[in-house]
Chains A and B, each alone.
Chain A
Amino acid sequence: MLPISRRELLARSGTGLGVLGLAGLIADEAKAEAKNSSNPLAPKIAHFPAKAKHVIHLFMNGAPSQVDTFDPKPELTKQHGKQPPGANLKTERKTGALFKSPFAFKKCGQAGIEVSEIFPEIGKCIDDICVIRSMHTNIPNHEPGLLLMTCGNTQAIRPSMGSWLTYGLGTENQNLPGFVVMCPGKPVVGPALWNNSFLPGVFQGCHIQNLDPKRVIEHIRNTNLSSGTQREQLDLLNQLNGIHKDRRAGDDQLDARIQSLEIAYRMQTDAQEAFDVTREPLKVREAYGKGYFADACLASRRLVERGVRMVQVFYGSGQPWDDHGDVEKGHRNKAKDSDKAISALLRDLKQSGLLDETLVLWGGEFGRTPTSEGQNGRDHNNHGFCVWLAGGGVKGGMTYGATDEFGFAAVENKVHVHDLHATILHLMGIDHEKLTYRYSGRDFRLTDVHGTVVKDILK
């Protein structure tokens, strides 16, 4: 940790940059309120120099199967149809015999990491990817699984990671929301997944259901007035607010609102522009492909380019990856729909140099059983699953940790969801034990009392 010199700190504070976790340092939630008049979303200094400035979380909600995507298991293929030796671990439902992956795996990249045939394009990017094969979580049900992955707790009573990140670091573009969530419709659980909980409301994720630029953010467009008239109207409002303020000297909150009105005015054009993927060259649009998810991936790049702190893209409404039946067909279709867009995003970020400062996370809320459910499906599995990270200070072309021979449970270098959170925060320049918020007399953190940074995957 590089200590920030006092001089530097004061110099930066003079330019309006706050300090991360200041509220925590003030040691008193009541007094932290005195800071309210300043913009809570202004960029703040991290605990230590950050590797990543932005996070893009591609959330494969419903939970993809590890043994069919990034964790090949030859032993599973060999023993296909046999009862698993030892206990069949407890998951949501009863499952049957070992069930081999219907997909072939191919060695990819210089690293020669095996990736399922359903992700040919992502396979080509594998040298920029670190696959964590030893993830595990607490409960094999969607709701607690989704909540733990997004908020670090199995009940809907905590702020989400994006809220923590914007609380800690602010955001770089005040004309756009700092934490954007894209999902057509709603994932299971719903808004609690991007909830600010006890953090101030400004840190809630801005959910975008419809990528039509005119409708991205609520009230983003004035449908009653031409832009010229709106400017005239706002000028008058500014003048009247100015007279009001002059009679009440020295009140920051009045200034803050006046400024905020101007930012809102700019947000109207900036946000519509940022989400407008049709402004991209045809070649780029073709590389991403068609559909909501592809557009959301492309919009993600446009957003981080403009300084948005965290973008979370849910693959689809409900829980699309939840293939209890016919995992072959289900996974193949969804992979086909997303492979191109995800790889295009990685390449696009890399080409512009943004990948260095953008951490991309791919994964679900848990994994699936290597044993079969019904004829050809797989049940939920909290004991072992995989996610992958790319960019933002993570080593590429590597795998980390391992599940057992069948891919049931993580056994080597186990990484809990809390550890993943600790690692993401670390890459963003945050000590996960020090990013705290005083609420009800106690300091809370994303990782609760847990979390160890997975140092081996850091560059």
Chain B
Amino acid sequence: MLAAQCRYGNMLMALPPNASGHSLNPARQPTPPNIRGLLLMVIMLRTALTLALLVPALASAAEPDAKQVEFFENKIRPVLVEHCYKCHSAEVEKAKKLKGGLRLDSREALLKGGDTGAAIVPGKPAEGTLLLSLKYDGDVQMPPKGKLPDAVIKDFEKWIADGAIDPRAEKAAVATGGIDLEKGKQFWAFQVPKEPTVPKVAGSNASTNPIDAFVRAKWEEKGLTPAPIADPRTLLRRAYLDLIGLPPTPEQVDAFLADQSPNAFAKVVDELLASPQHGEKWARHWLDVARYAEDQAHTFGVKPKSQAWRYRDWVITALNSDMPFDRFVKLQIAGDMLPDAPEDPFLKHAGLGFLGLGAEYYKNTAREQAIAEELDDRVDTLTRGFLGITVACARCHDHKFDPIPTRDYYSIAGIYMGTAMSDAPLAPAAVMKEFTDAQKKVKTAEDNLKKAQKDAKDKPADKTLSAKAKELADEVAELKKKMPPQPAVAHVVSGNGPGMKVYVRGNPATKGEDAPKGFLQVLPCEATAGEKFTRLDLANAIATPANPLTTRVIVNRVWAWHFGRGIVATPDNFGSLGERPTHPELLDWLAVNFVKNGWSLKWLHRQILLSAAYQLQSTPSAENDKIDAANVYLWRGQRRRLDIEQWRDSLLAVSGTLDATIGGPTFNLKDAGVNRRTVYAKVSRHELDGLLRLFDFPDANVTAAKRTVTTVPQQQLFALNSEFMASQAKAFAARVEKLGKTDAERITAAYRLAFGRSPQSREVELAERFLQLPPKTDDKLTRWQQYAQVLLASNELMYVD
């Protein structure tokens, strides 16, 4: 049963519907009316679906037989694997346990048949033994455990009648299967990015910031007119929320407006990038990718990761110090093995939490399967996270769309097979020793106590025994009191795996050929695959400009976190089923220059923020909408709802309650009065905090490339009814009260704090009218507090233009 299991579903289902046989492509076959209707709707709904964009995905399906191959993969192969291979495959033949001399694991074998003749005759379902046995019509009735459902038997009949198309090579699960690696390397994403020529286009800033040259070139090509540059207030709020996750204070707004120098905005950007709050904001983006959490989803046998937060702090530290991204990668994969690793044990080890805090599954009965799932989590997080490629698709079969043979999956998985989830000490040896010694002492004293208690119980008459027990109990208590605090540790993956064999069809019970430890064959790698390949070799193969994916993937992620959409709109899938870049030359320019600038993320942020493309107003245009309603070509800014971290942190900042302490253990969002930044809140795989969940925080069981944005009433119940909002409203009202003598003055102060602007007369009028309403005795909030809550709950605070 496990054999056919695939964490990612059948790859056929992975095909977009247009390419999977139920064709959406009007050119290929008559389209039924309902589909046509859908198509029309899709266009009408302005979902930005352009038929042109469907083409790349269609290309792979347009080859002859593709449909039949899909039918085979979808309907036939899984059945053969699940119900037949156990007795009819090369594997059992090797073990001399083949039944009936019949193998069903290749086309040749089926044609040749077994002891009773050919299993199938393509095109002639009535001939051959296979169908007869499946139907339970002949002497041989297969599978022996019970007749398969009629629908399945009909599938076989259809498959044979259609010519029994069968793509399986003679050897099952061979090294590269049918994959042509040389051909695979031709795909754009596997070509090393080369520095493109910056287009020469007229327009402001184009001469200074190449980003604008590329973006402007697309506007011209598509006939789009860009929106004007946003006004200074809008721009400032955007930059603050974007770079440090907090809104500017009224003083910061005033200072910026007063600064008439041409580089006023650049100065602000530099200040924000230098602020320690920048790391707090941007670490969270990476933590989404790293599916960071402090526990496991299930209940039984879970080992607590009490210092998981050290990995979070490591990411914050790394980003604040602008650690070169290649080093950032290497320390997370092989910090313990790097020849030039930092001396500080925290910097050296804590990054290993990237995988060290990964999923650990319940291993009671199906132990091997659970271990296979853990390996899958690592391969998946590692390859999608750093490389933007879905290697985990190749776990049960060669990747159907990208040049990744099954063996490659196990080459990487094998690096981690047999490694340990362990704790690396971060404190000096003496401190560690002091702690373990103290632990031992407690243990010994406890053992003595137990013995003494037993003795006292056995001989209740002997008072000396009970006195001794009491004495020992006091000693235990004393020792426990004296215990030094638990020294710092990092939760890491340690050791190096011995490598593994391919699990045929992903099933740990059916092992295939050796998969020497190594890297993806389609990508360059200096180290040779084999026994000596380590995590360090893996890290080196990823963190190098020779790798065509790593740099593109990270610059694209950062771009997407700034703009809400990547140049490649699928940040964790640069494969053939992913999106193609909207600005391929720009992507390459960024990737190449990122390396030239020392893999500096702060360089990248600065380059992006200082572009005109980043600074546009978010106003719509009916004309542009006709061409590009989804703003793929960045002709305007994109209004966005704040994510939960930005929103909650803004509420605290505006109310004046924010506790700006950096780093340290996590806090529970349910604890009243803890007003630390949201990045420090506990993240649980088992039960994610309700507030985080409500506002689209991703499930920490899998790597997340982007967050969905939903608007649901339960969010608004939080805004209207939660004690958190009420307490912030009280604090905000109290803060504002001191800032003016009249309601009008205070209203102005509140607007400046909350929105960085003065209120308009209509807004003052509405506020005053509300504040003058008579108070009601049942209400526990004053009118001013109620009003403060309104401002905090408003759209203006929750969205950024």
Contacts and interface: CB of A to CB of B under 8 A. Distances in A.
Contacts of B2: 138
Interface in A398-413: 411-412
B506 to A, nearest CB: 11
A276 B716 CA distance: 22
Nearest to B152: A452
B795 A144 contact: no
Interface stretch (A99-107, A261-269, A286-294): A261-269
Interface string B672-700: 00000000000001111010011111010
Contact of A154 (B10, B366, B693, B796): B366
Given A10-B40, A28-B53, A443-B13, A195 B4 contact: no
A219 B801 CA distance: 29
A440 interface: yes
B17 interface: yes
A441 interface: yes
B298 A189 contact: yes
A401 to B, nearest CB: 10
A251 B639 contact: yes
Interface string B20-55: 000010000000111011101110111111000110
Contacts of A448: 5-6, 9-10
Interface stretch (A77-85, A234-242, A340-348): A234-242
B298 A6 contact: no
Interface residues of A, number: 114
A190 B299 contact: yes
A265 B5 CA distance: 45
B72 interface: no
Interface stretch (A65-73, A117-125, A223-231, A389-397): A223-231
Contact of B717 (A202, A257, A267): A267
Nearest to B709: A36
A221 B773 CA distance: 23
A369 B697 CA distance: 42
Contacts of A438: 16
Given A236-B766, A412-B146, A40 B710 contact: yes
Contacts of A27: 16-18, 24, 49, 54, 57
B48 A253 contact: no
Given A143-B299, A201-B710, A226-B778, A264 B146 contact: no
B460 interface: no
Contact of A257 (B7, B298, B629, B795): B795
Main secondary structure of the interface of B (DSSP, over half): loop
Given A27-B17, A155-B361, A201 B393 contact: no
B573 interface: yes
B187 interface: no
Interface residues of B, number: 127
Contact of B760 (A195, A243, A267, A433): A243
Contacts of A5: 33-34, 37
Contacts of B726: 224
A29 B618 CA distance: 23
A227 to B, nearest CB: 9
A139 B38 contact: no
Contacts of A443: 9, 13-16
A434 B17 CA distance: 9
B798 interface: yes
Interface string B563-585: 00100011011010111000000
A191 B293 CA distance: 15
B719 to A, nearest CB: 8
Interface in A135-159: 138-144, 153-157
A423 B390 CA distance: 31
Interface in A189-212: 189-192, 195-198, 200-202, 204, 206
29 contacts: A4-B34, A10-B37, A13-B45, A26-B47, A30-B565, A34-B45, A34-B47, A36-B708, A144-B365, A155-B361, A175-B713, A189-B299, A192-B298, A195-B699, A201-B695, A204-B693, A217-B717, A224-B781, A226-B776, A226-B778, A226-B779, A234-B720, A240-B763, A240-B796, A253-B709, A257-B711, A257-B795, A442-B9, A442-B390
The 7 closest A-B pairs by CB, nearest first: A6-B37, A30-B569, A442-B14, A156-B297, A264-B716, A27-B16, A441-B573
Given A31-B47, A143-B299, A257-B798, 12 more contacts: A10-B40, A29-B570, A189-B297, A201-B710, A236-B767, A257-B711, A267-B714, A414-B146, A443-B9, A444-B9, A449-B4, A452-B151
